[in-house]
Amino acid sequence: MPDFKLDWDRIARTGTTEAVLCDPKSPQQIDAIVAHVQSLGRRLLLTRLDRDKLDRLTVRHALDYDETSRTAILGSLPPPRAAARIAIVCGGTSDVGVAGEAARTLEFAGEASSRFVDVGVAGLWRLMEHLDDIRAHRVVIVVAGMEGAIFSVLAGLVSSAVIAVPTSVGYGVAAGGQAALSAALASCASGLAVVNIDNGFGAAHVALRMLAAEITQATPTSRAQA
């Protein structure tokens, strides 16, 4: 018996898919997991997979790998929706790795996203010139490090659900993302959701649950119909 057990029923219970966090796993463990999933003919998302570890995998040629986001996908992707319902907004280009993790997680679920990169509030005009386009999305994932000021600014300008993803970008008192995390949690913009530092994967799943909740609330239950 393998020393791992994948949760294939998760999507039925929660609407979100199983994934494999590769950072703490050895190449041998990842190889075994991917080979097992291949034998079942299933799809799989792998996160936090560095290039050097990928190069040591015997199954690497079966994976669609993206180095920027450190994600890999086994199997084909579902066709995306015609129009993106989720925007991913980056404070700076240093945040694109975490933003990419969110985008690839959404892509694995068949959900397209629009990206707006390097629109941090140090040059507020950069954000404002994209504001109408950002407002057109149902959910906005905001990815930023340093002081995280963009979380409150953007959440105060759009009616969409906003998810803050603090990143570990910054130095000194930025403290590896702690300053951005504290800013997001202490935001005066009401209704701002916050995930952990560098957690693009988690932010994508929050966005997917929000969209699923919209569909559920818009569909009458059998009890209500009765």
Scanning the structure block, which residue is given the tokens 């659900």? 161
Distance CA 99, CA 102 (A): 5
User: At residue 151, does pLDDT exceed 80?
Assistant: yes
Q: What integer pLDDT is reported at residue 217 of this predicted model?
A: 45
42-71: burial string, b at 16+ Cβ within 10 Å, e else: eebbbbbbeeebbeebebbeebebbeebbb
Distance CA 149, CA 203 (A): 18
User: At residue 190, does pLDDT exceed 60?
Assistant: yes
Q: What integer pLDDT is reported at residue 79 of this predicted model?
A: 85
Q: Give 89's pLDDT tier (boundaries 50, 70, 90).
A: very high
Q: What integer pLDDT is reported at residue 214 of this predicted model?
A: 62
What would the two tokens of residue 128 be? 């404002």
Q: What is the pLDDT of residues 112-150, one digit of tens each?
A: 999 999 998 888 999 999 999 999 999 999 999 998 899
pTM (2 d.p.): 0.88
Distance CA 83, CA 62 (A): 29
Average pLDDT over residues 193-201: 97
Average pLDDT over residues 69-92: 90
Rounded to 5°, angle at Cα 213 from 207 and 215: 110
